[in-house]
Amino acid sequence: MTDPLFRLLGSPVSLLELLAFALALWMVACNLRVNPLAWPLAMISSAMYGWLFLESRLYGEASLQLLFIVVAAWGWRQWLAGRGSDGQPLRVHRLRSRQRLLVLAATLAAWPLLALLLRHATDSDVPWLDALPTVGSIAGQILLGRKRVENWPTWLAVNLVSIALFAHKGLWLTVLLYALFAALSVVGWRSWQRLQAIGAVHG
């Protein structure tokens, strides 16, 4: 699975990276349509990327994939049976202004803590760059699980930082994936804004 199939911009691409790439794109397509199939796809692709990131000494990203699997199981249940504060089935909705600030503050506070842990507990050569998308992804995954519109701008920021991280590691197929993710984040943001507006009118 980890043996090179071909080279992209001078770096090897394995079957593992190729399969993870395809499943991750399918997952985002399902997220755009608010299709619960996204969650089992997220679990499988996360397991594959965890393996790939371990091979690349990206320990923050690798550990994140384990968390993603756990949160994906939670998110799957939320989308199938979750309820909003009004007791109704969970629908696409927004955070309040204060909630947005709390999410941002918690993410920025967690970033240096994780970076210092990676710096002192692992042989990571990019602890700060590895830690930022890691903590941002945790926020994005929780927001996505609760169908918050703000998950999309969060993922946009995560994806842009991740592009720099994976380019530094020469994971060019994954760079391409995260560039596509960044573009799809904008599409998802606009799509969920429309869904939220419809829900607000009919809710």
pLDDT at 139: 94
pLDDT in tens, the chain (203 residues): 767 667 777 777 788 888 988 998 899 999 999 999 999 999 999 999 898 888 877 777 788 788 889 989 999 999 998 888 778 888 899 999 999 999 999 999 999 999 999 888 887 888 898 899 989 998 999 999 999 999 999 999 999 999 998 898 888 878 888 999 999 999 999 999 998 888 654 44
Helix 59-81 to helix 127-145 angle (10° resolution) is: 0
pTM for the model: 0.83
pLDDT at site 170: 82
Task: Identify the CA nearest to 60 among candidates 187, 165, 184.
Answer: 165
Residue 203: predicted pLDDT: 44
SS3 10: coil
pLDDT tens by residue, 61-80: 788 788 889 989 999 999 99
Kindly give, in sequence order, each residue whose CB lies less than 8 Å from that of residue 8, ignoring residues fewer than 6 positions away.
172, 173
Amino acid identity of residue 185, one-letter, is: S
pLDDT for res 166: 87
Indicate the Cα dihedral angle 144, 148, 152, 153, nearest 10°: -130
Kindly state the helix (H) or strand (E) to which residue 4 belongs, with its residue range: strand 4-8
What single DSSP character describes residue 125?
S
Q: How far apart are CA 112 and CA 156, in angstroms?
A: 20
The confidence score (pLDDT) of residue 26 equals 93
Cβ-proximal residues to 63 (8 Å cutoff; 6+ apart), any chain: 50, 134
Q: What local confidence, expressed as pLDDT, does residue 200 receive?
A: 57
Q: What is the pLDDT of residue 183?
A: 95
| Buried residues in 180-194 as b, exposed as e (16+ CB within 10 A) | ebbebbeebbebbee
pLDDT of residue 126: 87
CA neighbor of 26 nearest in space, from 6, 5, 43, 4: 43
Structure token digits, residue 33:
């349509």
**Which tokens belong to 172?**
């060019």
